[in-house]
A and B are shown apart, each in its own frame.
Chain A
Amino acid sequence: MIGPLYKVLGWSHGTLLIFAVIIGFFFGYALYRSGFYSAKKLAGVFYLYDFAVYKVIFFAIVVASLLLWFFSSIGLLKFELLSFHPSYLWSAAIGGFIFGIGFSIGGFCPGTSLVSAVTGSFDAIAFFVGVYLGIAIWDLGYPFIFKGLNHLGKIEAKTMMELWGIPYIILIAIAIVIVIVTFPLVDKIEKKNKI
């Protein structure tokens, strides 16, 4: 069957939601089994004693993009039907920067804090409440203060392939090279800073 199935087969919205639950289930499972219920482990990447976050994210990206590339190149996936985030470069950069600061203070990101909160961590619950507050601040302040902040630096290209005209697989190869080069490096740092 040619994916994305929801769009190609025209599933109903209800079916989509059932699949959302199933995917979420495995997502939650993966996050928990990665050890992301612990703020200590998560914050480790910024305090140089545990690079699990970095490794998991990069490895997941490499694996997922390889699969996406493979399936779309044999015609089992319509890549253009996937939903892409619109590219607001400045907003992404600013947001990422602030996000990093918040991450290093709170020790969570929204997804992992939800996971951790479910397992009974009060700090995660506090963080999660904080996320609600942060979003509420944005939402309520949006019409007056923040309007447009999330739409800075718009470019038409939705992917780097479009942007630079490089084939997908080359980009994946670059990512793999980054992985191969950096993983031993971070392992060394990790060992040095082990608590």
Chain B
Amino acid sequence: MRNELLEKYLPLTPEEKEELKSKKIKKHDVATVFLHWFNMLVWLTELITGAALIVSLNYAFMPKFFTKIVSDIYGTRGNIIRTHIFVGVLWAIVLTLYALFGWRRYLKPTLKEIFGITKDDIGWLKAKFEEVVLGKKVHYPPQDAYNGGQKLFAQVVALMVPVIIITGFIMAFHLLSPSLIRWAIIIHFGAVGLVVMGLSVHIYMALLYPPEQEGFFGMIHGYVSEYFAYHHHYKFWRKKKKGLDKPEELPPKKDLPPIKAGIFLGIVLFFSFYLTGFGLGSSGFVQRTLVAILGAFAPESVKNHSYMGHYWGVYPLWNFLVFMGLGVIAGTLFAMFLAHHKFRFRIERGEKINDFQRLVYAVIGGIIVGFATRVAGGCTSSMALSGGSVFSPGGWLFMIFLFIGGYLGAFFFRRLWK
């Protein structure tokens, strides 16, 4: 391959084209890919539910039948707003975690890139305008990992997302004064409006515009062909070729000793009681989400169910333990990050069984445990930990019998772990 290609953006020969087409280059991190598609799901739900919420004659912009359809799907309009808030909070948590822990690795470089506008970006925009509107044949200047249009859209998004989240929180939790909520709602609306304008172009470009098709798949598995990178993102390709980025890795940390961990957990448990009056719990998370899932199919029969009806309330996900579960997920990821552990798919098992057997036993164990939580009315977190610390008779009894059952089980199933 010619060395000048690295120095200057030149037309390729057919051989070079074939060569580049056969090679792959990594364009997106797993985190970026995950975030993108997570964002897509969130935006889809939030746009649909949000649009369905604004039905007032003075402000509505979607036709009535749309609202009606969405209301019918969700059962009541209250569920729409609850979903809207639930998903929004989830989104805010994920983005905040991303911003906090991915600051050095992901966010800062990305922001630097999208806000670093060069002459070439402006040239790209100009060329695009000339091509689309004036129908001229144009030549695009070389681009970074994101082209001028993408940068422009990213800028809008990067600026508007915090605004949307903050105003959303103000409305959802009635923060500060009513007059502020009054402004928050129109700022929320306006900010979303701005993003939506960019979004329709973005979707068109990615889904329907043939030259960008490879970029679309790139966003799924993270790789694009070198040819695509060379052609569309020359500057990025050149940087990659020169091998400019390589993050260093830190050694993983050991687990905390049980006593330290116990003290920490004890303090968390105490604060849970002190702040909310409720203890910790996790089986409730499963119960509520399960009820929500079943309820999506048969809301009426779940609502009137002799057991599940109790967990339905107004909306099963609008619950302390469910939100605690979200917190647990976030906290786990955070702990993993701080301990410099890597996310890796794995199966842990004893040596005498194979992977498949392990999975089967895990499912069986899960079923037994899940069932048992319902009999006892809680799991290790709620019965043993929370109940134990306030010396609830049931809690201690549960704990004692848990160990009896556990050792009995261990006697029969020792093959699994030895």
Query: When A and B assemble into the complex, do they touch directly, with CB atoms less than 8 Å apart?
Result: yes
Interface residues of A (CB under 8 A from B): 3-7, 12-35, 37-41, 43, 45-47, 51-52, 55-65, 67-68, 71, 77, 79, 81-89, 91-115, 118-124, 126-139, 142-143, 146-147, 149-150, 155, 157-161, 163, 168, 171
Tell me which of A86, A103, A120, A142 contacts B409 (CB under 8 A): A103
B382 touches A85 (CB 8 A): yes
B335 touches A28 (CB 8 A): yes
A93 touches B397 (CB 8 A): yes
B406 touches A100 (CB 8 A): yes
Minimum CB–CB distance from B357 to chain A (whole Å) comes to 11
Scoring A4, A7, A18, A32 by chain B CB atoms within 10 A of each residue's CB, the highest score goes to A32
Tell me which of A95, A106, A114, A168 contacts B373 (CB under 8 A): A95
Minimum CB–CB distance from A86 to chain B (whole Å) comes to 8
A92 touches B348 (CB 8 A): no
Tell me which of B336, B379, B390, B414 contacts A159 (CB under 8 A): B390
- Whether a CB of chain A sits under 8 angstroms from the CB of B280 is yes
Task: Produce 1/0 per residue, B72-87, CB < 8 A to A.
Answer: 0000000000000000
Given contacts A40-B348, A57-B385, contact A127 B274 (CB under 8 A): no
Q: A20-B321, A87-B393, A92-B394 are in contact. List 4 more A-B contacts (CB 8 A).
A: A26-B327, A27-B381, A101-B406, A106-B363
B409 nearest in chain A by CB position: A104
A29 touches B376 (CB 8 A): no
B302 nearest in chain A by CB position: A139
The list of the 8 closest CB pairs from A to B, nearest first, reads A130-B366, A106-B365, A24-B327, A134-B370, A95-B376, A100-B405, A59-B262, A63-B266
A96 touches B367 (CB 8 A): no
Minimum CB–CB distance from B303 to chain A (whole Å) comes to 13
B367 nearest in chain A by CB position: A134
A107 touches B283 (CB 8 A): no
B361-418 with Cβ < 8 A to chain A: 361-410, 413-414, 416-418
Minimum CB–CB distance from B353 to chain A (whole Å) comes to 11
Q: How far is the CA of A35 from the CA of B254 in the complex (A)?
A: 9
A46 nearest in chain B by CB position: B410
Minimum CB–CB distance from B174 to chain A (whole Å) comes to 7
A105 nearest in chain B by CB position: B365
A-B contact pairs, 6 of them (CB 8 A): A3-B277, A68-B273, A99-B380, A102-B372, A131-B370, A135-B371
The segment from B108-116, B180-188, B339-347 that touches chain A is B339-347
A25 touches B388 (CB 8 A): no
Q: How far is the CA of A65 from the CA of B389 in the complex (A)?
A: 5
Interface residues of B (CB under 8 A from A): 89, 93, 172-174, 255-256, 258-259, 261-280, 282-283, 285-287, 290-291, 294, 305-308, 318-336, 339, 341, 343-349, 358-359, 361-410, 413-414, 416-418
B394 touches A85 (CB 8 A): yes
Residues of B within 8 A of A95 (CB): 372-377, 383, 398, 401
Tell me which of A45, A64, A103, A122 contacts B269 (CB under 8 A): A64
Residues of A within 8 A of B329 (CB): 28, 114, 118
A25 touches B346 (CB 8 A): no
B334 touches A25 (CB 8 A): yes
Residues of A within 8 A of B286 (CB): 110, 128, 131-132, 135
Given contacts A14-B173, A18-B173, A163-B393, contact A92 B377 (CB under 8 A): yes
Given contacts A122-B345, A138-B371, contact A85 B392 (CB under 8 A): yes
Chain B interface mostly: helix
Residues of B within 8 A of A128 (CB): 286, 366
Tell me which of A63, A84, A123 contacts B359 (CB under 8 A): A123
Given contacts A38-B348, A89-B393, A123-B349, contact A4 B274 (CB under 8 A): yes
Minimum CB–CB distance from A149 to chain B (whole Å) comes to 6
Minimum CB–CB distance from B375 to chain A (whole Å) comes to 4
Given contacts A105-B364, A138-B374, contact A62 B266 (CB under 8 A): yes
A84 nearest in chain B by CB position: B392
Minimum CB–CB distance from B354 to chain A (whole Å) comes to 12
A107 touches B365 (CB 8 A): yes
Minimum CB–CB distance from A129 to chain B (whole Å) comes to 6
Residues of B within 8 A of A47 (CB): 410, 414, 417-418
Q: How far is the CA of A5 from the CA of B273 in the complex (A)?
A: 9
A121 touches B346 (CB 8 A): yes
Tell me which of A21, A38, A68 contacts B327 (CB under 8 A): A21
B323 touches A21 (CB 8 A): yes
A107 touches B377 (CB 8 A): no
Tell me which of B267, B283, B320, B332 contacts A64 (CB under 8 A): B267
A96 touches B377 (CB 8 A): no
Residues of A within 8 A of B404 (CB): 96-97, 100
Residues of A within 8 A of B264 (CB): 30, 33
Minimum CB–CB distance from A155 to chain B (whole Å) comes to 7
Minimum CB–CB distance from A81 to chain B (whole Å) comes to 6
Residues of A within 8 A of B380 (CB): 57, 99, 109-112
Scoring A21, A47, A81 by chain B CB atoms within 10 A of each residue's CB, the highest score goes to A21
B387 nearest in chain A by CB position: A85
Residues of B within 8 A of A112 (CB): 380
B391 touches A65 (CB 8 A): yes
Q: How far is the CA of A157 from the CA of B326 in the complex (A)?
A: 33
Q: How far is the CA of A35 from the CA of B93 in the complex (A)?
A: 24
Residues of A within 8 A of B262 (CB): 34, 55-60, 62-63
Minimum CB–CB distance from A108 to chain B (whole Å) comes to 7
Residues of B within 8 A of A115 (CB): 328, 332
A29 touches B290 (CB 8 A): no
Q: How far is the CA of A138 from the CA of B375 in the complex (A)?
A: 9
